Amino acid sequence: MTFAPRPQAGDLSFLKQLNRSAVLEALRQTPGLTRAEVAQGSKLTKVTVGAAVQALLNEGWLQEGDLQRRGGGRPGRALYLNETRHALVGVEIGVHELHVVTCTLRGTILEERHLALLQTTPEETLDRLAILVEEILETPEIKQRECLGLGLAVPGPTSPSQRRLSLAPNLGWRDVALLDMLRERLPHLGGIWLMDNEAKAAAFGEMYFRNAHHPTPGSLLYISAGSGIGSGLVEGRPLRVIRGVHGLAGEIGHTVLQPSGLYCHCGNRGCAETLVSGWSIRAALGISEESELDKAIARHPEQNRVATTLKHAGEALGMLLLNLHHTLNPAEIVIGGSLTRLGPALMEPALTMFEEHQNRLLPDASRIVPRVLDDSRIVAARGIAAEILSQALSDTPASPRSARVEN
């Protein structure tokens, strides 16, 4: 049993910080380890682990469980990340909804809020989002906790510094300093602040908050199928999100599938989103933006037209899955987003195409079976909360009351 490698260190203070981070990361990956098991897996001495664990217990980062009698040595107490002391805030701006969650260090959801919102300005959107955050922070469960920070997931690529939304074509927003604008509306909320694309955040969270009883794959691709189509790829240990030089990695909705096809919201022709996306399905079936897509489809008067539209959209999604399998070859694929709620009429053609074609190049390769999330409303918000925790654990301060603020 070994854990992710630690970077080389310099002065004593930095060494102590690295040791603390190594202990926290070991217990995040494998809850319930004893001090001796942490030392064995992290390659730290038992004395070093003992000192780090005691400090982290005193500061509220860890909690002890029952005595464990494993192997022939002395019994030791199981150690866990403390679920009662801290809270992480994750928020997502969607094309039609706002989502706010708070969760524990293990990703357990404490509170969540959702608000339907038609397309409007960044300022009005952030005003409403700030109200939701304030409301959730005032709940009794959250008020008693130390907030480690806030993460913002957005429906488009972010700048390399991850402080600006570069483009959200389905909202009509371009080059907006969303993170700073939200922070101005929540000046009392300290801790770590960061922003990321919603599909990348979802991919990170699906790996980071993975149940310890399920093996962690070498790489995971998350496909966000909603009003638009995006994806995020996470790989390695420590986890690394693939971003690209301009933050465009994963913008699969704007890969061109039909060079002379319909115009996309981005300005190009024949993008994947013109074939499979919430907005293209609405356009094909004459459904307004004000209507909930799944409910409007269920009561649509022309069900044969609906079936044909969803079949064609599903086949386009299957084509995307196949292209991603051949170009990125992830170990696991997860599909989320509001389009999964459209059910078999959309998803069966997609999964069938992928299943029938994925092994044409390598017939003996292990098969990838995409995991489809029936309800993924909180996945991106929880994922961006995971990014907050990852940063917090890699730089734990001497006291949880002095959580670092990112400027």
SS3 56: helix
Among 391, 396, 402, which Cα is nearest to 19's?
396
pLDDT at 187: 96
Question: What letter would DSSP give residue 263?
Answer: B
Q: What percent of the chain has pLDDT over 70?
A: 94
CATH number of 87-202+380-402: 3.30.420.40
The answer, yes or no, to whether residue 162 has pLDDT greater than 80, is no
pLDDT band at 74 (very low <50, low <70, confident <90, very high): confident
Scanning the structure block, which residue is given the tokens 């959250």?
142
DSSP for 58-120, written as a single string? HTTSEEEEEEE--TTS--EEEEEE-TTTEEEEEEEE-SSEEEEEEE-TT--EEEEEEEE--S-
The answer, yes or no, to whether residue 363 has pLDDT greater than 60, is yes
pLDDT band at 399 (very low <50, low <70, confident <90, very high): very low
Q: What H or E segment, with its residue span, contains residue 322?
A: helix 303-327
Interatomic CA distance for residues 112 and 103, integer angstroms: 9
pLDDT band at 403 (very low <50, low <70, confident <90, very high): very low
Over residues 116-135, mean pLDDT: 94
The answer, yes or no, to whether residue 173 has pLDDT greater than 70, is yes
**Do the domains spanning 12-81 and 87-202+380-402 agree at the CATH topology level?**
no
pLDDT at 397: 52
The answer, yes or no, to whether residue 239 has pLDDT greater than 80, is yes
Residue 295 burial by Cβ neighbours in a 10 Å radius (0-12, 13-18, 19+): exposed
pLDDT at 1: 55
Q: Which of 6-20, 34-48, 286-300, 358-372 has the lowest mean pLDDT?
A: 6-20
Scanning the structure block, which residue is given the tokens 């909705």?
253
pLDDT at 282: 96
pLDDT at 98: 97
pLDDT digits (tens, 9 = 90+) for 85-116: 999 999 999 999 999 999 999 999 999 999 99
Residue extents of the structural domains in the chain: 12-81, 87-202+380-402, 214-376
pLDDT at 398: 40
pLDDT band at 6 (very low <50, low <70, confident <90, very high): low
The answer, yes or no, to whether residue 406 has pLDDT greater than 60, is no
pLDDT digits (tens, 9 = 90+) for 176-222: 999 999 999 999 999 999 999 999 999 999 999 987 777 889 999 99
Interatomic CA distance for residues 137 and 145, integer angstroms: 9
CATH number of 12-81: 1.10.10.10
pLDDT band at 72 (very low <50, low <70, confident <90, very high): low
Q: Which of 45-49, 156-160, 241-245 has the lowest mean pLDDT?
A: 156-160
Q: Report phi then psi at 300, rounded to 5.
A: -65, 135
pLDDT band at 69 (very low <50, low <70, confident <90, very high): confident
The answer to whether the beta carbons of residues 223 and 231 sit under 8 Å apart is: yes
Average pLDDT value for the chain: 91
Interatomic CA distance for residues 96 and 116, integer angstroms: 6
Over residues 1-9, mean pLDDT: 52
The answer, yes or no, to whether residue 12 has pLDDT greater than 90, is no
pLDDT at 119: 78
Class of the 214-376 domain? alpha beta
pLDDT band at 121 (very low <50, low <70, confident <90, very high): very high
The answer, yes or no, to whether residue 402 has pLDDT greater than 80, is no
117: Cβ contacts below 8 Å, ≥ 6 apart: 96, 97, 98, 125, 128
The answer, yes or no, to whether residue 288 has pLDDT greater than 50, is yes
Interatomic CA distance for residues 60 and 62, integer angstroms: 6
